[in-house]
Chain A
Amino acid sequence: MRWFERFRMAVLMLFRRQNETERLSDELQFHLEQQIAENMAQGMDPAAARSAALRKFGNPTLLRDQARSTWSWDWLERFGRDVRYGTRTLGRSPGFALIAILVMALGIGATTSLFTIVRAVLLKPLPFRDPDQLVMVYEHFRASVGGDGTNVVSSGDFRDWRAQTHGFEDMAAWRNYGFNLTGEHQELPETVEAVGGSWNLFLVLGIEPALGRTFTAEEDRPNANHVVLLSWSLFQRRFGGDASILGKTVRLDTNAYTVVGVLPRWFTYPNPRAQLWVPYAQTFPATEYDWHDNHQSYVIARLLPGVSAATATQEVSALQYRLHEANASKPVAEDAVFRPMIDDVVKDIKTPLIVLLCAVGCMLLIACLNVSNLLVARGAARRKEVAVRGALGGSRLSLIREQMAESLLICLAGGTLGLAISVLATRWLASHWQDLPRAESIHVDLGVLAFSIGLIFLTALLAGLLPAISSTGAGVLTALQESSRSIGGSASRATLRKILLTAEIAITVVLLVSAGLLFKSFLHLRTSDLGCVTDHVLTVKYGLPEKQYDTREKVVAFHEALLARVRSLAGVRAAALVSTPPGGGWENDRSFSIEERPSEKFNLLNDAMTRSADPGYFSTLQIPLIAGRFFTDQERLTRDQYVIISKQFAGQFFSGESPIGKHVKISWGRKLQTFEIVGVVGDTLYDVTQPLKAMIYFPIFSGIPSETSGATIVVRTTGDPLALSLPVQKQVSALDPALPVYEVLTLPQIVGNSTASQSFSATLVLAFAVLSLVLAGIGLYGVLSYLVTQRVTEIGIRIALGAQRSEVLRLVLLDGLRPIAIGLVIGLAGGATAGALIRSILYGTSPFDPVVFATMIGSLLLTAIVACVVPAVRASRIEPMEALRTE
């Protein structure tokens, strides 16, 4: 029952406080009356009785306060009082309040946004059943150039792993695939990204389809009935969310596939672009399903309870070594390695996200320091007031609390504003950040709210505690004794501000350097030389379905007809065909051997990217010929045993000797063949964010359906290349109405897409750094102005005694520049460390890049000088007579 009593009192005290206060007065009044009555009973006259009673009673106000202090909610009352005082103090200088609130809003808002993203992307568990039990298993080559040797898995390896090892509960595989999607009735064709997934993949992940069923084991065979699972977005977009699609047929590469199910809306693994799923085995020709060297698949394994991933992988690894031995002539890895699935999903985004979070944290810290600095200045102005209150009995704790309430108010207002900003900013970031995995799971929820509230209190503490402690310090007596004429009395306060300033400058320099490095690296990427002409180039992809285009003649006929049509379009200077344009990605790589080096065993390091191109490709993109010749129109169909290699290839594998006329043995058209090298051309990058790789070109007019049915037509135009995208597409559909085109892009767009993520992080970090620089500038200006105001009398006396104005200018400037110099040195050391830490996401930029360092030091010094000059000049213009009179 006691809890009820207490609860009743708590409610009473909260809602009827005013009433209770009156009753307390009444109660004490009653006591007094009793006392008076008693005194009168003892024979005193009324007046004497009254004064005696009052004397005995003591201080009624104090007594009332003491009784009140036992009431519940007393803390709330005190807090309310502090907040009231704080609001009044802030209201007296609305300019200061506004700046401080905006600064905190930016800092808290940005930090909350980044935290929301980091939490959703890096910290939340994957949306699968027992996601901690999921790992990815990769092959691992012991010898490898660049990289860590980890490689995607071949279908043969995966099948043997699954059949012959028992350390995992189950293993599933998937690989990227693509289809031309058409309907039964002349619907518009489109190219869709697809995934081939083993039948058990959805069981391993614990995914229930939204409609229908997933694949069966019988369907996961190379020649089984064609079935397809639709993603929710394709189901909605193309089929209007009509469940009657189940059991019906869609055409993929003109083959009929039966729709057996629809995946849930939230399921966007491996990426949101995947539109449909087909059984894993059906993405392979029957003959290749057992191959051990078609490294294209990703393997997901679920751990058995009580068996560690390392133990389970060891067994796989042992099997892999036997596979390696059995296939010594092929690139089959020696080992297997694992990686937790969550790490695998976020591996490309983890470092940039953490860098961004650190950057935004630094900015928030600077914002705190700045507000702290401003509060110290105000504390100094209110020194006398605080001292008087202290002398009158205000406890230090309550004085500190009151000042803290001020910074709490600033942070609360800023935080609320910041939270609003962050909701908008987060939505914008999530939708504009390309290649951000798990973007669909990003939203502001209770956890984020709790985080930002925590942040508000933390920043209030950070910004308020130091100034509050220092301004209520022991020097109460000194402050009171300080005559109005005293000078330099608050040297310690100035020191504190300078330390804060030094810290601010140091952090700003770290941010500036990191931002500069990231931006330089990004610029390097954007301006990196692809190795070909990029202006006025349009690229359009298409893929001929192997069902209709099943002979070399048919494939070549289409390619040539399209080329001829496009070349005759107005505004086209040149057109050519290539399997994948420069910057367009990996496509394929194969290992090879060189015939002129006999008895050479299979060597993993003999590996090159493969491309196929038509005779006009190199001249169209102005890729220079270094030796030999380009392809000719005669090198077509079965007369295709000629290849062209890149400069990197020649340098890497024919150092010193001429490669022309030499022969390479490499797989082409699903069998190992010998090719004669006829030319060497300049290098092109396959991805601007990746180092150069040796490249080998086959003639695309060879026409082998399995190798050359997918092509990109590259068109050099006289005018705007995108203006030609529709005419080119019309030529394609004139030749084959059911054939869709995709990735209609200019070369700069291709580069832009692959650097979008870098562009994003570089721009954001730079924005944070610039903001911090502005904040540091404001801080610097504030400190110096304050110091000058403090020293007006001193400077006035100096000038009166004959000090030169230039001397004064120098004095003040030096005073301001000292903390900057110290901060700069600390910051440079920190910047170099930060640069070394982010080395992995810097492309073509040294972490100690002198240009970046010089630029950043320069911009900091410039800002500092601008911030210092104004107060310094003001100091040097002080009129001694006026200065001495004002006091």
Chain B
Amino acid sequence: MGKPNDLVQGTLDLLILKTISLEPKHGWAIAKRIQQISNEVLQVQQGSLYPALHRLEQQGWIRAKWSETDTGRQAKFYGLTAAGRAQLEREMESWIRLSTAINMVVEIG
């Protein structure tokens, strides 16, 4: 199962929102995509992924739809709602602010 999640707390939401911002994806694809893009650095565990997806859905940021995958099986695809898009903007901004700040401290300090 590997180490516990390395993700900075609260960034999982951001990653999920960002990953599905282009097109709706199902849970497996979201996890895979995050893993690939980050060169296998970020491993999203199912134990975190699904509760997070359901929480975001309850909060109205994302909306699920059942449709067929390439293999013809029914799967739950998550897409951004309008409110989710706005939330993504906000989370991005605060992430950039935070990471810039951390970078500055790490490089200069």
Contact = CB atoms under 8 A, between A and B. Distances in A.
A34 B51 contact: no
Contacts of A885: none
Interface in B56-103: 57-61, 63, 66, 73-76, 81-83
Contacts of B57: 9
Contacts of A57: 46
A481 interface: no
Given A2-B83, A58-B46, A66-B47, A30 B73 contact: yes
A80 to B, nearest CB: 19
A27 B57 CA distance: 14
Contact of A6 (B45, B47, B59, B73): B59
A31 B27 contact: yes
Contacts of A9: 57-58, 60
Contact of A70 (B1, B54, B66, B73): B54
Contacts of A6: 58-60
Contacts, number: 73
Contacts of A28: 46, 50
A5 interface: yes
B73 A5 contact: no
Nearest to B69: A30
Contacts of B47: 58, 62-63, 66
Interface residues of A, number: 30
Interface string A1-26: 11111100100010000000001101
Contacts of A72: 58
A418 to B, nearest CB: 38
A170 B77 CA distance: 76
Interface string A64-95: 00111111100000000000000000000000
Contacts of A26: 74, 76
Contacts of B51: 66-67, 69-70
Given A2-B81, A27-B27, A34-B28, A67 B73 contact: no
A27 B82 CA distance: 24
Contacts of B76: 23, 26-27, 30
B18 interface: no
Contacts of A70: 51, 54-55, 58
A5 B1 contact: no
B60 A67 contact: no
A35 B28 CA distance: 8
Interface in A605-656: none
A33 B73 contact: yes
B58 A67 contact: no
B75 A27 contact: yes
Contacts of B81: 1-2, 5
A27 B53 CA distance: 11
A253 B54 CA distance: 85
Given A2-B81, A70-B58, A56 B1 contact: yes
A57 B54 CA distance: 18
B58 to A, nearest CB: 5
A31 B58 contact: no
A11 to B, nearest CB: 12
Contacts of B27: 27, 30-31
A6 B56 CA distance: 10
Interface residues of B, number: 26
B1 A1 contact: no
B34 to A, nearest CB: 14
A62 B45 CA distance: 13
Contacts of B1: 56, 58
B61 to A, nearest CB: 8
Given A6-B59, A6-B60, A71 B28 contact: no
A30 B28 contact: yes
A259 to B, nearest CB: 68
A68 B73 CA distance: 23
A753 to B, nearest CB: 67
A445 to B, nearest CB: 38
A2 B60 contact: yes
Nearest to B2: A56
A58 B2 CA distance: 12
Interface string A571-590: 00000000000000000000
Contacts of A5: 60, 63, 81, 83
Interface string A99-115: 00000000000000000
Contacts of A71: 54, 58
B54 A67 contact: yes
Contacts of B46: 28, 31, 57-58, 63
Nearest to B26: A30
A67 B52 CA distance: 8
A13 B64 CA distance: 13
Contacts of B54: 24, 67-68, 70-71
Nearest to B49: A31
Contacts of A1: 81-83
B32 to A, nearest CB: 8
Interface in A26-67: 26-28, 30-31, 33-35, 56-58, 62-63, 66-67
Interface in B15-34: 26-28
Contacts of A27: 26-27, 50, 75-76
Of A31, A66, A71, chain B has the most CB atoms within 10 Å of the CB of A31
A253 B30 CA distance: 98
A156 to B, nearest CB: 77
Contacts of B75: 27, 30
B57 to A, nearest CB: 6
A24 B57 CA distance: 13
A34 B29 CA distance: 9
A810 B89 CA distance: 79
Contacts of A67: 50-51, 53-54
Residue from the set B54, B73, B74 with the largest chain A CB neighbour count within 10 Å: B54
Interface centre among A33, A69, A70 (most CB of B within 10 A): A70
Interface in A393-417: none
Residue of A3, A26, A67, A69 ringed by the most chain B CB atoms within 10 A: A67
B38 to A, nearest CB: 18
Nearest to B86: A2
Choose among A5, A35, A62 the residue with the greatest number of B CB atoms under 10 Å from its CB.
Answer: A5
A393 to B, nearest CB: 17
A647 to B, nearest CB: 87
B83 A66 contact: no
Nearest to A72: B58
Interface string A736-749: 00000000000000
A3 B46 CA distance: 28
Interface centre among A2, A4, A26, A69 (most CB of B within 10 A): A2
B68 to A, nearest CB: 12
B75 to A, nearest CB: 5
29 contacts: A1-B81, A1-B82, A2-B60, A2-B61, A2-B83, A3-B60, A4-B60, A9-B57, A9-B58, A13-B58, A24-B50, A27-B26, A27-B27, A27-B76, A30-B26, A30-B75, A31-B27, A31-B46, A56-B1, A57-B46, A58-B1, A58-B46, A66-B51, A67-B50, A67-B51, A68-B54, A70-B51, A70-B58, A71-B54
Given A6-B58, A67-B51, 13 more contacts: A1-B82, A6-B60, A27-B76, A28-B50, A30-B27, A30-B73, A31-B28, A56-B1, A66-B47, A70-B54, A70-B58, A71-B54, A72-B58
Closest CB pairs A-B (n = 5): A5-B60, A2-B83, A70-B55, A34-B28, A6-B60
